[in-house]
Amino acid sequence: MNRVIRSTQWRRLVLSSLVLALLIVPSVALAQSDSSPGLEPGAHVTYEQRVPINLVFVGYDQGDFNMNDLKDWLPDGYAPIVRYPAFYGVAGRDMGLQFDFKYNITWANNSFENDFFDYLGSIATPGPMTDFQALYNDQASNVLDVTDPVGYIDAPSTEQWLMSNAHRLDVETGMGYTIFFINWYGRPDFQFHIYTKTDYLDPDTGYNFGEARASRKIIAWGGSHGRTWFYDLSAGPEAWTDNWAVDFPDLDGNGEEDYRMPPIWEYTAGGYRDPAALGQDLGLVTRLVAINLLFTPSPLYDPLVSSPAPDGRKVVHVEMFESDAGRREVGTDYLDLDFVQNELSALQPYFEWATAEDLNRPPDIQARRTLGIFSDRLSRHGCWEQFGTTFAQMFCHFDANYGNYVSGYPAGDYVASVFSYHVTERRLGSQWGLLGFADDNWVDGTPSYVFAFGAQEYRDLGYGFSDTTVHEVGHHTGLSHPHDGYDSEMGVDYGPADFTYFAWAGDESDSIMSYLGLTGRFGVFNQDNMNRYQFAGYLNWANQVLAGVVAHPDADTVQAYVDAADAAAMTAQDAFNNWEYGAAAMYAREAYEQIARAAMELGISTERVVPMRVITPTGTPPKEGDPIRFPDN
């Protein structure tokens, strides 16, 4: 049985038309609203939500581009999938979510624009142009030269100003997502500018990427304060989307253009881009960056896999292998478990999180050999051979010997195991530059173990173990990067390469899943999405287990649990409808826990009902970790 829960707007409409009737019926009728029906034994429910997407143009004039070219790219909706199983050609768990978009297009009025650009001017700190603006000037075909001084503008402050002034344009930023397309160029008060975020220090190294690196001076930002993201093609040019490079369309030499949006002044006759392409380009950014990667993205892994049993904890257990014997300090000196626990607890506060570390100094011979094989320094037989690549050696070794490293946790805990090597450049061999990866089980895209690497040479570049650990456990619990993802209507998975090279722009958002290193937290977009995944997942899981409970001859003995679960489910559904996703996730988890307790009392399994999978892999999953981008800057 499939059921669709309708959106808030629908419910509001019904409720307002019933307002007269409600005056004469008992208030309990409210709790029986169709949009919060509680649990439904055995049903797989798709929770549908109407999602307003506001496109606000600030500094653009109507007529600067053809709005229909933009609209042609806008999807009607989005149904998230679990991405990794799809790489094997198998369907992941049905996420039970469907978003239906309603687009609102707003042109900022003069008063708003004057105030906004005044504000930008007032917070801009003058400085010399960045290396990448200078590189742009050095291009042969650039249409103008950036001139000093350049304004350095705090990105989160800009985000906040736009969000808190949106009401002046009748744009509602709370229950919906908003993109501000900014264009300062052409106004008399224009100055060359770039955005910054400089308030985050790496917890292990104290390194400030936002301050120190020209490659971290950006043109877009959002997700620090709310559900908004701004994108300014009159800023930069910048490094991260390589839009300074206007002489050579093909950046990696593979014969395909690496499609990127140049600075706004390059949309001109003789510029890098045909001015007629502007509408299409803003549509591409709306769909393939903002919607697919930030607002309603698909998870990399099934977030329910890392679910503890009722009363169980989520544990991050780090096995640190000390392979830099020449040093007094060890890898665990650059792993801040309080930071790891705090950030993950902030993402999923409805779990009890715990962390632990175990220092292997020196590593056992098998762990050392595994590193040697993985880094292609040792040519040896190993368990990797059945997978055909030495990249599998980490997974298969630690999978086969798991109990030798991680043990002693109660059965109800979910343990995310992180195998970390503190190494040297020489010992990392062919994998030099790799920070970590969240591997799957090499069968069907189920998350398995996390691997992380650290070295003095990495620390010299700003990287310790803590950020990497949070990032990789973020993957393990489900989250994708903000620079790769899935397009629901086209059924296409993509990353920042070739025609979708501009997807790098998604990294310019508040998320530790970004490669920019500008934040240690899971921002608003991560929180919204994780909470919605958990909400729909736990309610459907509870529905599955509940079917067994109600069919049991002693079902009446656990009725109190079922009633409590039902109440929690209704509260969760109300919260979901009101865009209070944190509460929605928390109460959905509570509903599941109550049903699971009832099931355990009756001796019924609480295992997730896994859809029948015929393992006939049709694709080769990408096996690549998280590298250091821009090691030189």
Using the rule CB under 5 A, is 626 a contact of Zn ion? yes
503 vs 542, beta carbon nearer Zn ion: 503
Comparison of 564 and 628: residue with beta carbon closer to Zn ion: 628
Site map for Zn ion, 24-63, x if CB under 5 A? Answer: ----------------------------------------
Judged by CB, which is closer to Zn ion: 85, or 474? Answer: 474
Instruction: Kindly indicate which of the ranges 30-38, 179-187, 295-303, 625-633 contains the residues binding Zn ion, using the contact rule CB under 5 A.
Output: 625-633
Using CB under 5 A as the binding rule, whether residue 484 contacts Zn ion is answered as no
User: How far, in whole angstroms, is CA 452 from its chain's centroid?
Assistant: 19
Amino acid letter, 596: A
Rule CB under 5 A: say whether 439 interacts with Zn ion.
no
Comparing CA positions, the residue from 92, 94, 103 lying closest to residue 4 is 94
At its nearest, how many Å lie between Zn ion and the CB of residue 480? 8
Q: Are 514 and 505 in contact (CB under 8 A)?
A: no
How does DSSP assign 190-250, residue by residue? ---EEEE------TTT---HHHH-GGG-BSEEESSSSSEEEEETTS---STT-TT--S-S-
CB of 481 to Zn ion, least distance (A): 5
- Cβ burial of 568 (10 Å; 0-12, 13-18, 19+) is buried
Candidates 155-163, 280-288, 533-541, 622-630 — which segment interacts with Zn ion by CB under 5 A?
A: 622-630
Burial of 623 (0-12, 13-18, 19+ CB in 10 A): middle
Q: Pick between residue 242 and residue 626 the one whose CB is nearest to Zn ion.
A: 626
Instruction: Supply the minimum distance, in Å, between the C-beta of residue 625 and Zn ion.
Output: 7
Instruction: Give 120 or 450: the residue with its C-beta nearer to Zn ion.
Output: 450
CB 132, CB 238: distance < 8 Å: yes
Q: Smallest distance from the beta carbon of 515 to Zn ion, in angstroms?
A: 8
Nearer to Zn ion, 37 or 495 (CB): 495
Radius of gyration (C-alpha) of the chain in whole angstroms: 26
**Given the rule CB under 5 A, which of 210-218, 316-324, 570-578, 621-629 is the region that contacts Zn ion?**
621-629
| Identity of the residue, 507 or 626, whose beta carbon is nearer to Zn ion in the bound complex | 626
State the minimum distance, in angstroms, from the CB of residue 338 to Zn ion. 22
420 DSSP 8-state letter: E
CB of residue 495 vs Zn ion: minimum separation in angstroms?
Answer: 11
Q: Which H/E stretch holds residue 359?
A: strand 353-360
Contact 353, 345 (CB under 8 A): yes
- Judged by CB under 5 A, the stretch of 16-24, 53-61, 311-319, 623-631 that binds Zn ion is 623-631
**Smallest gap from residue 626 Cβ to Zn ion (A):** 4
Using the minimum distance from each CB to Zn ion, give the nearer residue, 397 or 476: 476
Contact, 297 vs 511, CB < 8 A?
Answer: no
Q: Which is nearer to Zn ion, 471 or 597 (CB)?
A: 471
216, 210 Cβ separation under 8 angstroms: yes
Secondary structure (3-state) at 463: coil
Site string for Zn ion, 173-192 (x = CB under 5 A): --------------------
By beta-carbon proximity to Zn ion, the closer residue of 574 and 626 is 626
> Cα(228)–Cα(165) distance, rounded to whole angstroms?
12
- Interatomic CA distance for residues 553 and 484, integer angstroms: 49
Within 509-568, which residues bind Zn ion (CB under 5 A)?
none
Closest-CB residue for Zn ion? 626
| Stretch near Zn ion under the rule CB under 5 A, chosen from 46-54, 351-359, 516-524, 619-627 | 619-627
Record the tokens describing residue 315, joined without a space: 């544990």
Q: Which is nearer to Zn ion, 467 or 626 (CB)?
A: 626
Q: How far is the C-alpha of 66 from the C-alpha of 72, rounded, in Å?
A: 10
∠ CA 520-361-462, rounded to 5°: 30
Shortest reach from residue 512's CB to Zn ion, in Å: 10
Q: How far, rounded to the nearest angstrom, does the alpha carbon of residue 458 sit from its chain's CA centroid?
A: 24
CB of 475 to Zn ion, least distance (A): 5
The residue among 471 and 589 lying less far from Zn ion, judged by its C-beta, is: 471
CB of 405 within 8 A of CB of 417? Answer: yes
- Residue 94 CB, shortest distance to Zn ion, in Å, is 25
Q: Closer CB to Zn ion, residue 104 or residue 446?
A: 446
Which span sits near Zn ion by CB under 5 A: 152-160, 352-360, 390-398, 618-626?
Answer: 618-626
> Residue 401 or residue 446: which is nearer to Zn ion going by CB?
446
Q: Which is nearer to Zn ion, 59 or 625 (CB)?
A: 625
268 Rama class: left (phi>0) / alpha (psi -120 to 50) / beta:
beta
Minimal distance, residue 555 CB to Zn ion, in Å: 45
Q: Given the rule CB under 5 A, which of 161-169, 414-422, 426-434, 624-632 is the region that contacts Zn ion? A: 624-632
At residue 293, the 3 state secondary structure works out as: helix
CB of 8 vs Zn ion, minimal distance in Å:
33
Strand partners of residue 535 = none
**What's the min distance (Å) between Cβ of 435 and Zn ion?**
8
Q: Where are the beta strands (DSSP E) in 479-622?
A: 485-487, 492-494
Q: How far apart are CA 579 and CA 174, in angstroms?
A: 8
- Closest approach, Cβ 592 to Zn ion, in A, equals 28
Peptide bond before 237: cis, by omega within 30 degrees of 0?
yes
φ and ψ of 150, to 5 deg: -105, 140
CB of 622 to Zn ion, least distance (A): 12
Count Cβ atoms within 10 A of the Cβ of residue 398 and give its class: 0-12 exposed, 13-18 middle, 19 or more buried: buried
Stretch of residues binding Zn ion (CB under 5 A), selected from 50-58, 390-398, 532-540, 620-628: 620-628
Footprint on residues 195-214 left by Zn ion (CB under 5 A) = none
Applying CB under 5 A, the site for Zn ion has a residue count of 1
DSSP letter string, 471-501: HHHHHHTTPPPTT-EEETTTTEEE-SSGGGG
Binding residues for Zn ion, rule: CB under 5 A, are 626
